[in-house]
Amino acid sequence: MEISNRAFRIARGADSSWLSAVSQGLAALGSNVYPLRLAIVEIGPRDATVEATMLRFDDSDRRALRFRDIEIANPRKRSPQASPFVAVQVIPTGVRCAFGGFAGDAGPVTNLLASAVDFLVTHPNAVNASELNEMAANVLYVEGKSLDDFLLGRLGLSRSRANKIGTFIDPTGIRHLDDVLNAINAARAVKGIDCGLYTVLPRAPAVQIEWSEAGCAVGTVLEPENILDAVELMVAHGAQAIGGVSVIDGVTSEMFAQHLAGELPNPSGGVEAIITHLISKVFRLPAAHAPLPYYQDLKGKSTRNPRAAAEFISTPHYFSVLKGLAHAPGLVEIDPDDQVPSSLISVDNVHAVVVPASCLGGIPALAAEFQDIPLIAVRENTTILDVTNARMGMGNVIEVESYLEATGVLLALRQGISLESLRRPLGDAVRVAAPSEPATRQDNSEQGVRTGTRYRP
């Protein structure tokens, strides 16, 4: 089993979705490969560049069967349900988001969005902040790979959950074992979390950062089976959710300084996602990860960047993971041809997906287009990418300036208020005529009225 990063080009036909184009591009890469993560990172006149983290496996691998089902190649089309009213928020990791590019600094906007819906599904990157995790009670904490598969219609979420958490610890950071155990035991004694199960990996997983050609923080894990074997052991002892702490190799003092200054994506974000994506795919359990202090000797005692302050208040950075996993929803696989049990939250309940406006190439945005779900694109959450709807040309996008405006859009969608009616100027009604019927009235587009899909304000 080998994990590597690569880029490939795709072309979209006139009548196909971006999701279909990416799926066809993956098929051309051959058999025995599985995409742990991917995103369109650049759009050209005729094609697009996709960067992906691929897992290559052998037929003899005892977990090979788990990787043969590629969800993006076989999504389930949703059957919309009015209740509950669910939205999804995505804060991509490793791309220097203005909101969410540091530990937990997307927490306030997450809770603001949550105030407008019954449930807000988001992932650990949006709310984890070292020892802090202040997500609202109706925020569903779902690992990023599981969130992708949820939007592809292949996973449902089971709401009532109190998880027994198992923790794996990288032996490379064994000198921090007491710090990790103190976090675990404090969570048990103070918060009442069932998290007393842990294991130290027999060998280092060899977690290393890499940078993609587009400048995204990615990475690789040289010993992935080491982690999977440890998770399997904890599951055998009753674990229902998995947390982990690893030393991440390759971060320099210059990188860390640039990250603190807001000039570089978080170096560790991409490779942490690879670890949890792997666990989520194989075991279908809630999962999250925290870095052991690879930068302990690289940073000072303080920072003048308040968005980064959470990174300085802890050694293991792990309590936020435990708090998130404690009541994370269970994950239930859904066959593309199956009916979704009414007890589950699924893509059928999703009424909007919220993403940064320059990151419309990830699976959540592509799935939203495929599923005909309004995609709220927030311009204020800038990133290093330029994958905007001006380049993607998707018909379901609602562009807004801020998360304040995005919350208003969610409220309007929930109340059934036309977005068009909330804008000025408000144009005249448009008469629809049969092709043989002569037009008797000037079309709205000639009066300067905004036109487009039914989602665009």
Q: State the average pLDDT over residues 354-382.
A: 97
90-117 CB burial, b ≥16 within 10 A, e <16: bbbbbbbbbbbbbbbbbbebbbbbbebb
Retrieve residue 182's tokens.
């103190």
Q: State the average pLDDT over residues 323-341.
A: 93
Share of residues in the chain with pLDDT > 70 (%): 92
The sign of the CA dihedral 97, 98, 103, 104 is: negative
Average pLDDT value for the chain = 90
Q: What is the pLDDT of residue 445?
A: 42
User: Could you read off the pLDDT of 154-203 as tens digits, one per residue?
Assistant: 999 998 679 999 999 999 999 999 999 999 999 999 999 999 999 999 99
Please report where in the chains the tokens 């009548």 appear, as a residue. 15
* Interatomic CA distance for residues 305 and 297, integer angstroms: 19
Domain ranges of the chain: 2-73
Q: What is the pLDDT of residue 13?
A: 66
Residue 450 reports pLDDT greater than 50: no
The helix (run of H) or strand (run of E) holding residue 405 is helix 403-415
Among 59-68, 101-110, 175-184, 304-313, which is the least confidently predicted range? 304-313
pTM reported for the whole predicted model: 0.92
* Interatomic CA distance for residues 132 and 318, integer angstroms: 9
Q: How far is CA 330 from CA 164, 314, 325, 346, in A?
A: 12, 29, 10, 12
Asked if 157 contacts 150 with a C-beta cutoff of 8 angstroms, the reply is yes
Q: What is the pLDDT of residue 258?
A: 86
User: Could you read off the pLDDT of 121-146 as tens digits, one per residue?
Assistant: 999 999 998 888 999 999 999 999 99
The sign of the CA dihedral 292, 295, 297, 303 is: negative
Q: What is the pLDDT of residue 243?
A: 97
* Interatomic CA distance for residues 432 and 393, integer angstroms: 25
